[in-house]
Amino acid sequence: MRNPLKLRKNRSYDYTPRYYKGEGNPYKIEHKLDKFRTTAQSTKGLKNKFTSAMDDLQTEGDKNLKLRFWIIVAILLLLFLFIIDFDLSIFVNP
């Protein structure tokens, strides 16, 4: 008869995945492009977060980004006004 107060130990298996090549941890989930991203590292602390935010602000990026953004906003705004059947004649002086 088993002792009801003593818990059973879990069984342990020596399992390796079928297509495991033998390098690194096979159970670690990592995106393929994480090693190339600048935001993948953990920036701990307020100072590091602030400095990385300032670095991001100082980098230029795409030159046409602002123009593209405002064109998309204008198209979406005109589409929204068309859907709600907005009358533009209220802006015309009689």
Q: pLDDT value at position 72?
A: 96
CA 59 from centre of chain: 20
Q: Which of the two residues, 1 and 63, has the higher pLDDT score? A: 63
Give domain status of residue 29, yes or no: no
Give domain status of residue 13, yes or no: no
User: What does pTM read for this prediction?
Assistant: 0.36
Give domain status of residue 17, yes or no: no
Q: Please give the sequence-ordered ranges of beta strands (E in DSSP) within 2-74, or none if there are none.
A: none
Domain that holds residue 94: 64-94
Q: How many other β-carbons are positioned within 10 Å of the β-carbon of residue 57?
A: 7
The string of pLDDT tens digits covering residues 4-30 is 778 888 888 777 677 777 777 767 777
Q: pLDDT value at position 26?
A: 66
Q: pLDDT value at position 76?
A: 96
Domain count for the chain, please give it.
1
The string of pLDDT tens digits covering residues 32-80 is 666 666 665 666 788 888 887 788 777 767 778 888 989 999 999 999 9
List C-alpha distances in Å: 42 to 14, 38, 56, 57, 91. 32, 10, 16, 19, 52
Give domain status of residue 44, yes or no: no
Closest-CA residue to 52 (of 42, 67, 61, 63)? 42
Q: pLDDT value at position 56?
A: 76
Give domain status of residue 40, yes or no: no
